[in-house]
Amino acid sequence: MAIKYVDTTEVKDIANEIIKLCNDLDSEFNKFFNKINSVPTVSREWVGQTATYYFNTYEKDRLEYKKFVNSIRMLAKSLNANMRSVSSCVSKNRGIE
Amino acid at residue number 9? T
User: Dihedral of CA 6/7/9/15: which sign?
Assistant: negative
pLDDT of 83 higher than 60:
yes
Amino acid at residue number 40? P
Which of residues 41 and 82 earns the better pLDDT score? 82
pLDDT band, very low/low/confident/very high, at 39 (cuts 50, 70, 90): confident
- The arithmetic mean of pLDDT across residues 1-26, rounded, is 91
On average, the pLDDT of the chain sits at 89
Which of residues 28 and 60 earns the better pLDDT score? 28
pLDDT band, very low/low/confident/very high, at 82 (cuts 50, 70, 90): very high
| Total residues belonging to the chain | 97
How much is the pTM? 0.81
